[in-house]
Structure 1
Amino acid sequence: METRKFPSLNNNNNLESSNSVRENLVNKHGPNTRRSGFKDSVFAFLGRLMPGKKHDGGTRSEEEEKVYSWLYALAQSEDDLVFEYVRSTERVCICAGLSFTEAERRLRESGPNVPLDYTFPRWWQLLWNAFFHPFNIILVVLTAFSFVSRDYPNGSIMLILVFISVSLRFFQEFSSSKAAMKLSEFLKCPVKVQRCAGRVVQTELIVQIDQREVVSGDIVSFGPGDLFPGDVRLLTSKDLIVSQSSLTGESGTTEKTAHIKEDRTTPLLELRNICFMGTSVVSGSGTGLVVSTGSKTYMSTIFSTIGQQKPPNAFEKGVRHVSYVLICVMLVLVTIIVVFEYFESHNLTESLLFGISVASALTPQMLPLIVNTSLAKGALAMARDRCIVKNLSAIQNMGTMDILCMDKTGTLTMDRVIMIDHLDSWGLPKERVLCFAFLNSYFKTELKNPVDDAILAYVYTSGYRFEPSKWRKIDEIPFDFTRRRVSVIIEKDSNAKDRNHDCLDRFMVTKGALEEVLKICCFVEHVNKGVSLPLSLEDHQRILHMGEELSNDGLRVLGVALRRIKTETSGGGAVKDETVESNMVFLGLVTFFDPPKDSAKQALWRLAEKGVKAKVLTGDSLSLSIKVCKEVGIRTTHVITGPDLELLDHAAFHETVNRATVLARLTPTQKLRVVQSLQTAGDHIVGFLGDGINDSLALDAADVGISVDSGASVAKDFADIILLEKDLNVLAAGVQRGRVTYGNTMKYIKMSVVANIGSVLSLFIATLFLPFEPLTPRQLLTQNFLYNVGQIAIPWDKMEEGYVKIPQRWSPKDLPLFILWNGPVCSLCDIATLLFLWFYYGAYSPLDAKFFHSAWFVEGLLMQTLIFHMFRTEKIPFIQDVASWPVICSTVLVSAVGIALPFTPIGKVMKMIDLPLSYFGFLVVLFLGYFSLGQVVKRIYILVYKRWL
C-alpha cells in the first residue's frame, strides 16, 4: 500500500501553526487537555467559533451538539489540522498513524469501540422490578395471612396468580433487554489500520484488528464491502461510493471524496469528506482518519436511548393507581371490621380470619390472569393474521393508538421500481427510446440496479422483440457519481442477416440522470422529420421542464442518448477514452415509479374509520412522497421536509409536526423527535412502522413499535410487533383486536372494583347491625372463589361496534367517578336484602345465623356474577345486547352452583341450610329492580360523561 505523505508532518510552518492552536486550547482549558480532555477543549473552542444552533426547539442534547460541532469542524479543516486535533502522530514520529503503545493506552482510556454505552440490568434486577408491584404485594400479604390462618386453598390460588404475573412480566422485560445488547454486535468486523512500529526507526505497518479495538487517531484503509468502524475524516479516496442506508433508510448511495472542504450549511449526512460509523463502502477505496469512536460517534447519538426501560403507559399507571386505592380502602375497612368483630366475639383469631377474608374479597385477584389471558388471546388471534406479538402490552397500546407513523417505501408502495413510459423529447411515446434503453440495461454488467430490472421486465412483459442476441457488446463505461450515467458500446453481430436496419454500425448508448445526459448531447431526434437536428437552447429548456414536471408527479426520470461510432474511432477494440461521451443525439427519456400497494388505500381507510391518523415519515424526496400519498388517499395539504424542520423553534416545531401528514427527507434523529413531539406536545398514543436500522430509534420510542419479518435484525429486536406480511390491513385488524382486549380488561376492572367495594361496604354495614358475622370466613372465601372462576370467560366476550371505532384511553378520573355512580346501586341491593331478611323472615338473631348466611351468600354471589352483564354494554342487557356464549355459559354455571350449594352436602359442611322458594321470588324482583335502576344510572352517566367503559 502506498503511504500518503502528510505536509503537516514535514512543514515547520504548518507544525508551528497547528501547535499554536493546540497550545491556545491547552492554555484556555488546562494542561490535562493534552490527554483525555483535549477533544472536549476542542468542542468548547469550536463552540465559540461556530456556536451550534439547537434546532427544533432546542431538543438536541449537549452531547449531540458536541458531536455535530466536532464533525463540522473536521469537515472544514485541512488534513494537517485534523491530525493535530486528534493527535494522531507524535512530533518525533516520521510515519503516519498511532504507535501500538499509544493505541493501547487510548483503548484503555476510551473503552471498547461500541456505539452504545449502556449498562443493562441484571436478571435479578428485572425479576425484582417485576415482583415489586403494589398489586403483587397485596396478594403476597394475603397469601401469608391465609397460610397463617390455615386457609391453604385460598392462599395457594393467590400465590399461583402472583407467580404467573411476575413470570410473564420478567420474561418480557428480559427479552427486551437482550435485544438491546445485540446492537453492539452487528458492527463487529475486522478493520485494516495503519500503525507505527519500531523503537529506533519507525515504519508503517498495515494490521487487521477487531472493530472494537479501533481508537480515535487510527488511520484505516477500506474497500468494497467494508464497514466504517467509527466516524472517519477521509484522507484519500478513489471513486468512493458509500451506502448510508443504515442511517438514512434510503437505498441510494453517496459519493465521498477526500479532496474537498465543506461548510456549515451542508447537512451533516451530506458531508462528502466525512464517513460515518456503520455505513459501508459500495465501490472504490480510500484511507481515512478515525476522529470519533464508541459513544462519541454520530451513530451513538442516534441510538442513545435504545435499551433503556420505557416508562409505564397510561393503562399500567392506572392499574397501579387502582392498586394503591385498594390498599388504602382495604386498610381502613378491614381494620374497622376486625375491631367491631373483636368487640362482638372477643375472639381475636376469628376476627383476624374474618378480616383476611374481607381483604381477599376486596382484592380483584383475577386481574393479572384476566389481563394476561386477554392479551394472550389477542396475540393468538393476531398470529393467525400473520402478525407476531413480542410484547403483550403492545396489544393494549394498539387499542389506544390514534396516530400511526410509517415509512413510504414498502409500506404504502410495493418497494420495487416499475417502468411507466418511454417518451421522446416532445413527450410522445417512442419505441426507439425503449429499444436503446433496453440494450443499455441488457448489456450493462457493473452495478446492476432495480431500474435496469424494471426496463427488462417492461420489455419482456409488453410483447416487444428487440432481439439482443443480434447485438454484441464491445465495452462499457460504468456508472459513477460524478458523471451519473452509464454507457455501453455495442455493434450488430457479424452473423446477423438483417443488414438493412439503421443500426448496422457501432453505437454508444448512454442512460443516466437527465441533466447529465443532456450535457453530452449536441443533437436531438426530430419526431416528425426522422432526422437529428442541433439541440437548441429552447429544446434544452423544454426537455428539462418536461423532466421537472414528471419528477413533480413522483416519477423518476432518466435520459437516453445515442451516438454512432466510426470503426476507426474505436480501433476495433474496447473504448477507453471517456471523452467519447460527447456530441450525442438525445433520444428521449424513460420514467419509473414505485407503485402504491392495492391494499394500502383500503387499509388506510379502515384505520381512519377507527380514528387512527396516518403520518408518513420518510427519507425520500417530498415530491415523490406527495405523489404516493395522493394515490393512497393521504391528505397532503400540510407537508414539510427535515431541513425545514431544523429551522423551526420549539413551539412551531410541535405545531408543525402535529399538523403535517407528510414529513420527507427525515434523518433517524428527526424521526425520533417527531414521535416524541406527538407523544408529549400532542398527547397522542403513537405507533411506528419501520424496518431499517435507521428506524430503531423511533421504534424504541413509539408506544407501539412495528416491524416486518424482512426488516433489519436490529429493527425487529426493538419492535413490539412483527408483521410476516407488510400489509396495513393486518394493522387495521390488530387495532380492532387491541380495542377488544382493552375493552374486556376495562370491563373486569370496573366491574370487579365496583362489585368488591360494594360487597365489602355491605358487609361493613351488616356487621354494624347484626350480632353475628354476615358470612363466615369460609363462606366468604368460597363466594369469592366461585365469583373469580366465573370471570375467566371475560376475555372471550365481544365488544360493541361503536366502542372499537374510536381510540380508547385510560382516564385517571374515570374509575373513581364510575365507582361513585354505580357502587351505591350495588350496596343498595345488598341493604334491601338485609332489610328483607330482617323484617320478612326475622333473621336478626344468632339463632337465625345459618339462614342469614345461606341467603346472603346466594344473593351476593348472584349480584357479583350478574353485575358484569350490566357493565359490559351501554345497551339494555339481555334485551338489546347479549354477551358471548362463553360468558353466558359461565354465568349460568356459577349461578347454578351458587343457588344449589346450600342444598348440597358441601353446603351443610359450610353451615348452610335450605332456602325457601319465596326467597328466590324476592331475588327475581330484586334483580329486576337492580337492572332497571342500574340502566337509569347508566344512561345518566353516559349523558353526563359521554362514555361508559
Structure 2
Amino acid sequence: MLASGLLGFWQEKGAADAVEKLLAVVRITATVIRDGKEVEVPIESVVPGDVVRLSAGDSVPGDCRILESNDLHADEATLTGETYPVEKTAGTLPEDTPLNRRTNTLFMGTHIVSGTATALVVKTGAATEFGKVSASLAARTPETAFEVGLRRFGYLLARVGLIMTLLIFAANVFLQRPVVDSFLFSVALAVGLTPQLLPAITSITLARGARRMAREKVIVRRVSSIENLGGMDVLCSDKTGTLTEGRVRLRSALDTEGDESAAVFFDAYLNAALETGYASPIDEAIRSHDQPDISGYEKLDEVPYDFVRKRLSVLVAHKNREGSVLVTKGALENVLAVCTRARRPEGTTVPVSEAEAGIRDHFADLSGHGFRVLGVARRELTSKTSVGREGEAEMTFVGLLVFSDPPKESAVGTVERLRDLGCSLKMITGDNRLVAASVAREVGLKEPAILTGGDIQRMSEPALVSRAVATEVFAEVEPNQKERIILALKKGGAAVGYLGDGINDAPALHAADVGLSVDSAADVAKEAADIVLLEKDLGVLVRGAEEGRATFANTLKYVFMATSANFGNMFSMAGASLFLPFLPLLPTQVLLTNFLTDLPETTIATDAVDRELVERPRRWDIGFVKNFMLVFGAVSSVFDYLTFGVLLLLLRAGMVEFRTGWFLESVVSACLIVLVVRTRRPFFRSRPGRYLTLATIAVVLLTLLLPYAPFAGVLGLAPVPPVFLLALGAIVAAYVLTAEVAKRVFYGRAEPQGRSEG
C-alpha cells in the first residue's frame, strides 16, 4: 500500500505541475504602476496600495478608489444585481453611501464595460465587498459529468467492498479461523478490490491530455472539463472569428438611396475615431478604411455602447462653428427607433417614414448576401457640452455602413468534421436573421432552422426547450438570452459547449457544460471559461474535442481493467477462503498482487486509442461499468476456480505451492487481460502503446522470477516445478481467449441498445 501510495503521489505531483505550467499560459493579468512603470502582473498578485489601469473588458482585481476616469462604466451585476452598466467617476462621497451608489468605487468581482480608469487598490481577497459575501455567492463549482461519474463509481466499489469484507470476516470467524488473520485477510480483500490508483491514473491521464491539447493550441484551465469537451454533442458559437475570418472590413458607406456617400463615412469616422469605450472590431474597421481630417473637431461627451440600446453616440464640436453634433451608429432597428427624419442625398431631409421602406429594402438585400449593416444618424444641437441616453432622440438618419467578414475557407470542412464526430453546431449571434442565415448556408448548414431573440422573448421555458433542440441558428439574440438558450439545450438532454469571448458571454460560459474562450478574449470571459483556445478557430476545437475523447477513453480503460480483474480475483479469493483449510493468499501477497497489477496500468495515459472511440461523444454510464465488472469478473473467477482445481486435484499442491501458483496466475492473467479489455477490437488488431507493452512484459517477467528470488520466503513464495508453470500457462491462455470471446458478445449486445461508457 505504501508503494502504491508513493507511486500515486509521484504521478499526481507530476500531473499537477504540468497543469500549473499550462494555466500560466492563459493567466489573467492586471496592469499596475510600479516604480513609475506600467507592468503586467497576475491578478492574484495585486495588493492594496497598487495603482491599476483599467479599460473595457478588464476584471477589477480588488476594491478600488477611482483616481481618474474617462467615460467609465462598470458591470456590477454579480455584486448588486444591477442589470445596466453603472457610470463611474472620480470623487468623494459620504462614508455611509450605499453600495449601489458608490460611483467613485470599483469592486472586485465586477468588470469594466466601457471607458478607462486609473484606480487605487484599497482591499483585496476576503476583505473586499465581494469577499464578505463569498460564502453565499461563491457556491461550490458544479461537478462535471466526469466527476459525477467518478463519485458514483467510488460509491459502487465502496458498497461492494464493505459487504464483501464483513461477510468474509464473519464467515472465517464462524469457521474458527484465527481472528487477526481473518481480519487482515478481509481488509486485504477490500484493498485489493479498490482501484487505489484511480485518483492518480485520473490525474495523470487528464494532465497528459491537457498537455496534448496544449500542443493543439487548446489550454485547459479546469482539467476535469476535458471529459465534458469530449462528451460535448452540441457546440454553440458566435460566427465572427470562428466561422468567419474575424477580420471585419468596411465595404461601403451608403446614403439613404443606397449610393456611396463620403458624408456618411465622415460621420461614422468621427464616431469611431473619438469613442473611448470597448475596443470594437467595427470601430477598428472604420478607422482603418480611411482617415479623413478631423483635427478641427473635439469630443465633448460620449454615450458608450451597451447591449440593450445597441448604439454608440459621440458628441463633437468644431472649433470654428457654433453648436455641437451628436453622431450615433448602431444596429439599424435601434438607430431608426430614435430618428424622426432621414437625409436625402442632396442634403434635404424628409420624415423618416417616407424613407424607411427604401432603407429596409437596402438592408434586407445586403444582409441576405451576408453583409453586416449598421445605421448612422446625427443630431444638430445648439450649446450642449454633455449628453446622456436621453439625447438620443429626434435624430436624422443619414445612411448605412456595410461590413464584410467572409467565412473561412476551412469552415465547411470543420462543420462537416464536427458533424462526423456526433457534435452539432448551433450559431448564436446578435446579427439579424438574414446575415446569420447567409453565413450559415455558406458554412454548410443548409436551410437552417432559425429562432430570433424576439421569438425567444415570447416563449415559455418548455417551448424553448422543444424548439432549441431543432434550431441551428439563433439570431438577433440579446446577451441575457444566451444563457437561457444554453440552459434550454441542457434541459433537452444535450451536453453543451459554448464558445464566447465577449464581456457579455460570462453567464453563458458558466451555464454550459464546458465553457470555451480564446486567449484574446475579455478577461471576464477567460475567467469564466474551462478551456481557452490560443486560436479562435473551430478546427482547433475539433482537435481538442478528439483529444478530450481520447483522454476519457484511457481513463475508462483503467476502470475496466481494475474492476474486471480485481473483482474476479477478490471474489474468487473470498470463495476459496471458505472451503480451503488455509487462507488462499496471505494478506501481504494480496497487496503485492494488487501493486504488481497496477504497475502496467500507470502507463495507460500513454496508450493508443482506437479511432472508433473518438468518433462519437461518450459519457459515464455506471450501469454499463457495473455490467462490465460482473461479466468479466465472472470470467476471471471461472478460471480462478479452474486454477484451484488444477493445483489441488491434479498437481496436489501444498499450502505454499498453492499460494505461489495462484499468485503467479493472478498477476500474469491480470496483466495480459489488460491487452484484451483496453480495446473493443480483437486484441491482436489494436496495438497498445509502447510503455504499456514494456510495462506488461516487465511485470510478467518479474512475477515469474519472484518465487526463485532469495527473499521469496519472506513473501511466502517458493519455487514450483516446471509442470506447474505449463499448467498455469495453459489456463492463462484459455482465459485470454475466453475473455476475447466474452468481449465480442458483451459489446455486441450493448451497442444496439445505444449504450456507451461515456
* Common topology (TM > 0.5): yes
- Distance, in Å, in 1 between the alignment partners of 2:534 and 2:219 is 7
1:664 has 2:469 as partner: no
* Residue equivalent to 2:189: 358
Task: Label 1:654 to 1:850 Cα distance change in 2 as closer, same or farther (>3 A).
Answer: same
Q: Kindly report which structure 2 residues correspond to 1:874-885, keeping only aligned pairs within 5 A, or say none.
A: 874-877=680-683, 879-885=684-690
CA contact (8 A) 1:370 1:795 kept: yes
1:413 alignment partner in structure 2: 244
Whether 2:625 is the aligned partner of 1:815: answer: yes
C-alpha contact (below 8 Å) 1:227/1:278 kept by paired residues: no
**Structure 1 CA distance for aligned equivalents of residues 488 and 375 of structure 2:** 42
How far the C-alpha of 1:687 sits from its partner, in A, is 1.4
SS of the aligned residue for 1:905 comes to: coil
Residue 190 (structure 1) aligned with residue 66 (structure 2): yes
Residue 892 of structure 1 deviates from its aligned partner by 0.6
Q: Deviations over 1:263-303 (max 9, x none)?
A: xxxxxxxxxxxxxx965579xxxxxxxxxxx999xxx9xx9
Q: Cα deviation per residue 1:40-59 (whole Å; 9 max; x = unaligned)?
A: xxxxxxxxxxxxxxxxxxxx
Query: C-alpha separation between the residues in 1 aligned to 2:527 and 2:484?
Result: 21
Cα distance per residue 1:466-523 (max 9 Å; x no partner): xx8xx9987799999999899999xxxxxxxxxxxxxxxxxxxx99899879922264
Distance 1:350 1:162, change over 3 A: farther
What is the letter of the counterpart of residue 678 of structure 1? L
Correspondence 1:52-63 to 2 at 5 A: none
Deviation at 1:731, TM superposition (A): 1.4
Q: For residue 405 of structure 1, give the secondary structure of its aligned residue in structure 2.
A: strand
Would you say 1:726 and 2:536 are equivalent positions?
Answer: yes
Cα 1:426–1:910, aligned 2, differ >3 Å: closer, same or farther? same
TM-score w.r.t. the length of structure 1 is: 0.59
Task: Supply the AA of the counterpart residue of 1:208.
Answer: G
> Which residue, 426, 433, 437 being the options, matches 1:622?
433
Partner of 2:361: 545
CA 893–159 in structure 1, closer or farther in 2 if over 3 Å, else same:
closer
1:917 correspondence with 2:748: no
Q: Does 1:896 align with 2:686?
A: no
**1:542 to partner: Cα distance:** 5.4
Query: For the residues of structure 2 that align with 1:367 and 1:802, how far apart are their CA atoms?
Result: 24
Show the counterpart of 2:554.
744
Counterpart residue identity of residue 644, structure 1 = D
Write the letter of the residue equivalent to 1:594.
Answer: D
- Could you say if the C-alpha distance between residues 653 and 936 of structure 1 is closer, same or farther in structure 2, counting changes exceeding 3 Å? same
Residue aligning to 2:207 = 376
Counterpart of 2:740 in structure 1 is: 935
Structure 2: distance between partners of 1:442 and 1:905? 88
Matched, 1:520 2:403: no
Quote the Cα distance in structure 1 between the aligned partners of 2:374 and 2:221: 44
Paired residue for 2:164, among 333, 346, 367? 333
From 675, 691, 703, the equivalent of 1:886 is 691
- Asked if structure 1 preserves the Cα contact closer than 8 Å seen for 2:433 and 2:452, the reply is yes
SS at match of 2:241: coil
Matches within 5 A, 1:498-509: none
- Residue pair 1:440, 1:487 contacting (<8 A) in 2 also: no
- Identify the residue that residue 642 of structure 2 maps to in structure 1: 832
2:673 to 822, 844, 867: 867
Deviations 1:410-468 (A, max 9, x none): 333344421335789987xx8xx4777777778886449866754675679xxxxxxx8
Of 182, 201, 208, the match for 2:91: 208
Q: Does residue 526 of structure 2 align to residue 643 of structure 1?
A: no
Q: Distance in 2 between matches of 1:305 and 1:402?
A: 33
Counterpart check, 1:693 vs 2:503: yes
Instruction: Give the distance between the partners of 1:615 and 1:544, measured in 2 at CA.
Output: 27
Q: 1:710 to 1:442 in 2, by over 3 A?
A: closer
Cα 1:227–1:541 shift into 2, 3 Å? farther
In structure 1, give the amino acid aligned to 2:671.
T
1:323-345 deviation per Cα after TM superposition (whole angstroms, max 9, x unaligned): 22322322232233334444667
- 1:361 deviates by 1.0
Whether the 8 Å CA contact 2:147–2:224 is kept in 1: the answer is: no
How has the CA–CA distance of structure 1 residues 474 and 484 changed in structure 2, closer, same or farther, with 3 Å as cutoff?
Answer: same
Deviation at 1:371, TM superposition (A): 0.5
Alpha carbons 1:485, 1:512 under 8 Å: kept: no
Report SS of the residue matched to 2:250: strand
Q: Is the 8 A contact 1:762 1:827 kept in 2?
A: yes
SS at match of 2:152: helix
Structure 2: how far apart are the matches of 1:650 and 1:766? 58
Task: Mark the CA change 1:396 to 1:640 in structure 2 (over 3 Å): closer, same or farther.
Answer: same
CA distance, structure 2, for counterparts of residue 747 and residue 414 of structure 1: 40
TM-score, with structure 2 as normaliser:
0.73
CA contact (8 A) 1:604 1:614 kept: yes
1:856 alignment partner AA: W
What CA distance in whole angstroms lies between the structure 1 residues aligned with 2:224 and 2:93?
Answer: 39
- C-alpha distance in 2 between matches for 1:452 and 1:190: 27
Q: Is the 8 A contact 1:399 1:737 kept in 2?
A: yes
In structure 2, how many angstroms separate the alpha carbons of the residues matched to 1:654 and 1:211?
48
Kept in 2: contact 1:641–1:663 (CA 8 A): yes
Measure the CA separation in 2 of the matches of 1:164 and 1:484: 54
For 2:680, the aligned partner's letter is E
Cα distance between partner residues in 2 of 1:213 and 1:604: 56
For residues 391 and 450 of structure 1, the distance between their equivalents in structure 2, rounded to whole angstroms, comes to: 30
Q: CA–CA distance in 2 between the matches of 1:658 and 1:324?
A: 33
C-alpha distance in 2 between matches for 1:778 and 1:583: 89
Shift of 1:943: 2.1
- Distance change (3 Å), C-alpha of 1:560 and 1:842: closer
Matched, 1:776 2:592: no
Q: 1:854 aligns with which of 637, 642, 660?
A: 660
State the shift of 1:739 in Å. 0.8
What is the CA deviation profile of residues 94-153 of structure 1, one whole-angstrom value per residue up to 9, with x for unaligned ones?
Answer: xxxxxxxxxxxxxxxxxxxxxxxxxxxxxxxxxxxxxxxxxxxxxxxxx7xxxxxxxxx4
Does the CA-based 8 Å contact 1:443-1:488 persist in structure 2? no
What is the alpha-carbon distance in structure 1 between the residues aligned to residue 735 and residue 94 of structure 2?
72
Q: Does 1:554 align with 2:345?
A: no
> Identity of paired residues, percent?
31
Q: Distance in 2 between matches of 1:211 and 1:705?
A: 41
- Paired residue secondary structure (2:91): strand
Larger Cα-atom Rg: 1
Give the Cα–Cα distance (whole angstroms) in 2 for the partners of residues 822 and 814 of structure 1: 12
Residue 394 of structure 1 corresponds to 225
Distance 1:791 1:389, change over 3 A: same
How far does residue 859 in structure 1 lie from its aligned partner after superposition?
Answer: 0.3
Q: Report the CA distance between 1:367 and its aligned residue.
A: 0.5
- In the alignment, residue 482 of structure 2 is paired with which amino acid? K
Residue 65 of structure 1 corresponds to none
CA gap of 1:457–1:828, structure 2 versus 1, over 3 A, is: same
User: 1:308 aligns to what SS in structure 2?
Assistant: coil
The answer for the alignment partner of 1:675 in structure 2 is: 486
CA distance in 2: counterparts of 1:539 and 1:930, whole angstroms: 84
Matched to 1:371, the amino acid is T
Number of corresponding residues: 651
Residue identity opposite 1:407 in structure 2: D
CA contact (8 A) 1:396 1:739 kept: yes
Paired amino acid for 2:497: G
Shift of the alpha carbon at 1:583?
13
Distance apart, 1:674 and its partner CA: 1.9
